Structures are given as C-alpha cells and as structure tokens.
C-alpha cells in the first residue's frame, strides 16, 4: 500500500515509518522538519504529496497541554487548520482512507463513581482544593471523593485545555470528511506514549522523558501532586503497530475512534520510582505542585482496538522504561 505519513520525522512518526517498511508498504514522509512549515497547510503542495497515495496516516500536530492562552492560535493553526486542509486535499485527490492521531485527553477527567450518586462525568477540580493538597475529584452533589473508571469510546468528550480541544475538533473534521467523501477515517486516541526518541527538555515532553533527563543529570525526579495520578503508559512500538493495523483493517465505511493503550493502569509516582531504580538514581520527590490544565486520572479501555485491529501491546513497562536510559533518546521537535 502507498501511504503518506504526515509528521513522519517526529517521535511516533519515525516508529510508524519503520513499521510500514517492515511490513512492505511504500511510505512517503511529509514533515515540518524537512519541508517548510507552510507546506503543512498549503493545499497545492498537500495535493501534490497525496496524489497517487492509497491512504494517509496523519500524525503532524503541535503537542502539549495548551494551557497558555497565547498558544491558542498556534494550536488551532497547526492542528485544526492543518487537519482541515489535509482532509480537503485527500477528498480532492480521491484518497478514501485516513488514520489520524487523536489523544486520550479528549475525555478530560473521564468518568468516575461516587459511592452515593453512582457513575458520573468528573467535574473540574477546584483551585482551592488543589492548593490545599486535596487532589482527588469530588462529587458535585455530596463532596465525596470519586473513584476513577476505565473510559470507553462512547464516553462524552470533555477537553480541559487547548491541545485537547484541537484533538476533539480533529475528530469532528474526520467524521464530517468520512460522511461527505464516503471514506474511512480512524482516529486513534493514544495514551501516554513513551520510548526511544521521546522528546525531552521541552514544555511538551512526556513525563517519562522529563524523569529520564532529570535522573541523567543526577537529580531526583520531581512528581506533581501526590504521585497517585493514574495513567496508561504505552510503548511507541506498540502505538506504531496499532497505527499500521488501523491502516490495514477493514472497518465499516465512516468514522471510528479507538483507544490505544497498554491496558495497564500505572501511577505517575510509580513510573518515577521505577525509572529511578532502573537508572540507579535518587528517589523521586513528591512536590505537591499542580497545574490547572492537568487531569487527575485518565485511563481508558482499549479492548475495542484489540478486537477490531487484531492488535495487542507487546512491550512490558519495565522493559520499555529501560529503553529510555540510553542516549538514543534524542530530542525531536514536536510536530
């Protein structure tokens, strides 16, 4: 299959290109690091790149929290306008298959259960609670701490920052494109992706990369809140395998969203402790610091991806974290 990969020089993009090559596909990269930035929203150039392709894997995006209001236009331009131009070009070049990188951040805090009032969407956390070290979300009706649940694809979307909002919009554009073009669009809601090549020393670095850089400098990892935030860390090789499997599977025409995670719930504090042990570094420091744009817990059910894509994650967390201690984790600019 002939495939155009946007964001091909990025962290996930390079792993996807390797996977495509391993499986005998013919992949063409399209990336800000190798092409002028404006090409990513230049309809004429995009049409030329897409022409003759069988499918597109769209990974290019500006990543991070998007908590600074001065970043909003940049997120909207790179992520929303970039996706809209790409999908228009795909339609005009009669490409009818697109796999897009979404994110688990579209769920916000997801869903949780109150012992008295049952399962409910998680309300935003109050600044006063965070400042006092009360980090668990609370039931709006009774104030009880909520117990987090795994989130399925049917859960409502509740973005809590600018980056998350752009991923919701990306999915909406893809849904409209699939309906109007008669094509197939699969949005993969990636969880916390880590592995060799993970960007580091930037505001948009993954927490695992931040811990790795801190430990490499001989300092203890600094963990926000109380370290009990629940996440799902999935290795980049498993994400690449899921992405290519989405390209190759045969879902019904239209739009499909799938969670892509390891299926293992891990706390941020646990990851910091494991990395400190692997790298023989100092014990983590729990800071109690917080960011309003952060969610407390977000872990999703990835069983639908396992079923539809005939895919399952292969990299164990400890084995995956060991790949971060080596100097192969070079900085790569977010796309």
pLDDT reading at 261 higher than 90: yes
Closest to 236 (Cα-Cα) out of 29, 79, 18, 65: 18
The pLDDT value recorded for residue 205 is 58
pLDDT reading at 259 higher than 90: yes
Give percent helix, percent strand, percent coil of the chain, each to the nearest 5: 40, 20, 45
Q: How many distinct structural domains can be found in the chain?
A: 1
pLDDT reading at 331 higher than 60: no
Domain membership of residue 144 (yes or no) is no
Task: Calculate mean pLDDT across residues 131-150.
Answer: 94
Domain membership of residue 101 (yes or no) is yes
Task: Calculate mean pLDDT across residues 145-170.
Answer: 92
Cα torsion 150, 152, 158, 162: sign: positive
pLDDT reading at 250 higher than 90: no
Q: Which two tokens stand for residue 61?
A: 């995006």
Average pLDDT score, the chain: 90
169, HSE (Cβ side, Cα atoms, 13 Å): 17
Rounded CA gap, 57 and 75, in Å? 19
User: Residue 214 maps to which CATH number?
Assistant: 3.40.50.720
The pLDDT value recorded for residue 200 is 67
Q: pLDDT tens-digit profile of 267-278? A: 999 999 999 999
Task: Calculate mean pLDDT across residues 132-138.
Answer: 95
Task: Calculate mean pLDDT across residues 78-94.
Answer: 96
Domain membership of residue 298 (yes or no) is yes
Domain that includes residue 50, residue range: 2-110+151-323
Matching residue, tokens 């039931």: 139
Q: pLDDT tens-digit profile of 32-78? A: 776 666 666 789 999 999 999 999 999 999 876 555 677 788 889 99
Domain membership of residue 119 (yes or no) is no
Q: Which two tokens stand for residue 286?
A: 């729990």
CB 262 within 8 A of CB 317: yes
Q: Which two tokens stand for residue 249?
A: 């599977």
Query: pLDDT: is 80 or 38 the higher one?
Result: 80
pLDDT reading at 174 higher than 60: yes
The pLDDT value recorded for residue 334 is 31
Rounded CA gap, 2 and 26, in Å? 5
Matching residue, tokens 């499997």: 245
Query: pLDDT: is 87 or 203 the higher one?
Result: 87
Which pTM value belongs to this model? 0.91
> What's CA 150's distance to the chain center, in Å?
16
Task: Calculate mean pLDDT across residues 199-209.
Answer: 67
The model's confidence at residue 326, banded by pLDDT at 50, 70 and 90, is: low
The model's confidence at residue 166, banded by pLDDT at 50, 70 and 90, is: very high
Domain membership of residue 140 (yes or no) is no
Per DSSP, which regions of 73-183 are E strands? 97-103, 111-114, 118-121, 147-148
Pairing relationship of beta strands 233-235 and 222-223 according to DSSP bridges = unpaired
Task: Calculate mean pLDDT across residues 123-130.
Answer: 91
Domain membership of residue 122 (yes or no) is no
């Amino acid at each position: 299959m002939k495939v155009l990969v946007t964001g091909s020089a990025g962290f996930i993009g390079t792993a996807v290109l390797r996977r495509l090559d391993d499986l005998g596909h013919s992949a063409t990269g399209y990336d800000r690091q190798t092409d002028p930035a404006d090409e990513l929203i230049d309809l004429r150039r995009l049409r030329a790149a897409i022409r003759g392709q069988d499918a597109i894997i769209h990974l290019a995006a500006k990543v991070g929290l998007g908590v600074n209001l001065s970043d909003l236009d940049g997120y909207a331009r790179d992520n929303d306008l970039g996706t809209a131009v790409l999908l228009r070009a795909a339609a005009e070049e009669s490409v009818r298959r697109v796999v897009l990188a979404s994110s688990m951040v579209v769920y916000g805090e997801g869903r949780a259960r109150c012992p008295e009032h049952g399962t409910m969407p998680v309300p935003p956390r109050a600044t006063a609670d965070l400042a006092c070290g009360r980090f668990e979300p609370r039931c709006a009706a009774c104030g009880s701490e909520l117990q987090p649940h795994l989130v399925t694809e049917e859960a409502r979307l509740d973005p809590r920052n600018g980056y998350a909002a752009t991923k919701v919009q990306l999915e909406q554009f893809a849904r409209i494109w699939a309906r109007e073009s008669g094509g197939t669009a699969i949005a993969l809601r990636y969880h916390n992706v880590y592995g060799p090549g993970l960007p580091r020393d930037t505001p948009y670095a993954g927490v695992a990369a931040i811990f790795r850089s801190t430990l490499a400098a001989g300092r203890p990892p600094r963990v926000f809140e109380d370290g009990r935030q629940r996440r799902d860390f999935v290795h980049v090789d498993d994400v690449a395998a899921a992405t290519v499997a989405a390209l190759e599977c045969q879902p019904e025409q239209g739009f499909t969203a799938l969670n892509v995670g390891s299926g293992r719930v891990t706390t941020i504090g646990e990851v910091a402790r494991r990395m400190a042990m692997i790298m023989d570094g100092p014990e983590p420091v729990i800071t109690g610091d917080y960011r309003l744009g952060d969610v407390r817990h977000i872990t999703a059910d990835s069983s639908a991806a396992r079923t539809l894509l005939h895919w399952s994650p292969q990299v164990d967390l400890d084995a995956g974290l060991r790949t971060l201690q080596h100097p192969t984790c070079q900085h790569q600019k977010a796309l």
